[in-house]
Structure 1
Amino acid sequence: MDPVSVADCEAAQTCWYRCRAALLGEEWGDGPLAWMREDDHLHLMFPTRIPPDALRRGLERARDSGVRSVGAWLGLETDASALMAAGFERGWAPWWMTAPVGDVGAAGDPRIELQEDTSDYHGEYAGYRASLALTRERPQHSWYAAAYDDRGGGFAGRAWSHLTGETAGVFDMEVWTPFRRRGLGSGLLRAVVAAAAKAGAQHAVLNATPEGKLLYESCGFRQIGEGITWWLRLTDHPEQR
């Protein structure tokens, strides 16, 4: 039996959003609903039931605070009828995957750098720099890695890991399109998992899409379950204002 469950994956995802909300937004609860806002995005994290009145109150608070998009993360067993009635649309299915940290592979790609600050984001993306404050909290529980193209192309991608107990969640991992298929994805993955392992992580977890699953499997991950997401763009629903 795998020592990591889907519930562990959900807990890691929730902890990640909670820590980001504490730094960049706010968190609140209403009965069984746990809301976490970061900038103009709001997340509803793994409720076992969704009372319509509590959902309505959450959406009203979201509109009042300038939220533009709302994402609901659910287990497959959760009744989503209240979300559908509120105008949410069914989204992508997270494929929960896990691996012992020792199976992911050793860090050491010279194109990958662990960082606690960055000047890589500009223009409309400049605000992303603020999130790196997570890496400067002590004891450290979040790690950020940047990838740089060795052919003169510059900043090529990023990844995070976040420690929840003995579980390292991997998040926000992406290699920009022009730099893919050069091994940067596996380099990023191994760098952030190794950093969390030094702090006590025993297993790594992540949610994959079909595009990324083959990469994760090549680094020792295997799928143990799946979930579902639901999404609402408040600007698309003026009648809810």
Structure 2
Amino acid sequence: MTATVADCERVQRSWFQLRSRVLGGDAWEDDGLVWANGDLMFPQVIDPAALARGVERARAQGARTVGAWLSPDVDPRPLAAAGFERGWEPWWMAGPIDLGGIPADARVELQESTTDYRGIHAGYAADLAMARLRPARAWYAAAYDEGRFAGRAWSHQVGDLAGVFDVDVWQPFQRRGLGTGLMQAVCSAAAVVGAQTVVLNSTPTGVRLYEKCGLERIGTGITWWLHLPIGAGPSPGASHSL
């Protein structure tokens, strides 16, 4: 199948909603606006009143930043009026799930639990609850270099599509092929359950890796961000029924 930007957005929305549901976050809809963990996900039209309610709900739950993911053709003026600032641009990319036949890498393994995260990163281990879902919908892979934890990646299957997320190889281990190994592991896992096309959003620094895996850029999005002051509470009279 040929993926579109709308497909990329749909998979991104599903990933945020999955994380919210499994990890105890908050996901809701209000007057056509879809929210997950305090982020507004690809609205077609932004109603200022519904936007204000969403910001207040995120604020009441302790959010420090509220994000909004948009298509470039959506009018962002309600966001600007509410104090959001334009942010980075997701570069939507897509390609065949087999990544051009990249072989498996023995340094990379799929995991459903981990002890790799320590200190301020210890909380990330809880994310692997998504990898333990049945039927499987998400897969986590970890990379190791001579026994040292070197990187990670996720995939999430939505029908014929597999979204890839959170691909990261720690700086001391970069340029050793671990990125392609991580991509192969999580894409292969999604292919087993029927995914045919991989989609993701890239920053400029990641494009080289994804192009090496056979992906092409198919479009551009935009993010907006509202940074809430520390200690900010709900506005007087605001309702926060959940």
TM-score range, shorter chain: over 0.9
Once the two structures are TM-superposed, the CA of residue 237 in structure 1 deviates from its matched residue by 9.4
Whether the aligned pair in 2 keeps the contact of 1:104 and 1:221 (CA below 8 Å) is no
CA distance in 2, matches of 1:201, 1:182: 27
Whether the aligned pair in 1 keeps the contact of 2:60 and 2:234 (CA below 8 Å) is no
- Equivalent position of 2:185 in the other structure: 191
Task: Indicate whether 1:26 and 2:23 are aligned.
Answer: no
Whether the aligned pair in 1 keeps the contact of 2:102 and 2:180 (CA below 8 Å) is no
TM-score of the aligned structures, taking structure 2 as reference length: 0.92
- Equivalent position of 1:86 in the other structure: 82
Once the two structures are TM-superposed, the CA of residue 102 in structure 1 deviates from its matched residue by 2.3
Once the two structures are TM-superposed, the CA of residue 53 in structure 1 deviates from its matched residue by 0.7
TM-score of the aligned structures, taking structure 1 as reference length: 0.93
2:229 aligned counterpart, secondary structure: helix
1:79 aligned counterpart, secondary structure: coil
**Structure with the largest fraction of helix:** 1
Whether the aligned pair in 1 keeps the contact of 2:60 and 2:233 (CA below 8 Å) is no
Q: Counterpart of 1:31 in structure 2: which amino acid?
A: D
Q: Counterpart of 2:111 in structure 1: which amino acid?
A: Q
Match of 1:76 among 62, 72, 76: 72
1:182 aligned counterpart, secondary structure: coil
- Equivalent position of 1:45 in the other structure: 41
The unaligned stretches of length 5 or more in structure 2 are 236-242
Equivalent residues, number: 234
Tell me how large the CA RMSD over aligned residues is: 1.6
Q: For each residue in 1:186-229, what CA deviation from the matched residue of structure 2 results, as whole angstroms up to 9, or x when unmatched?
A: 11011100110011100000111110001100110001111001
Task: Indicate whether 1:63 and 2:64 are aligned.
Answer: no
Match of 1:214 among 208, 231, 234: 208
Q: For each residue in 1:133-180, what CA deviation from the matched residue of structure 2 results, as whole angstroms up to 9, or x when unmatched?
A: 111111101000001112x5x111100000001100000111111111
CA distance in 1, matches of 2:209, 2:157: 22
Q: Counterpart of 2:220 in structure 1: which amino acid?
A: E
CA distance in 2, matches of 1:239, 1:68: 11
CA distance in 2, matches of 1:159, 1:55: 32
- Equivalent position of 1:235 in the other structure: 229
The unaligned stretches of length 5 or more in structure 1 are none
Once the two structures are TM-superposed, the CA of residue 235 in structure 1 deviates from its matched residue by 2.2
Task: Indicate whether 1:117 and 2:113 are aligned.
Answer: yes
Whether the aligned pair in 2 keeps the contact of 1:101 and 1:203 (CA below 8 Å) is yes
How high is the sequence identity, in percent, across the aligned residues?
A: 56
CA distance in 2, matches of 1:238, 1:142: 35
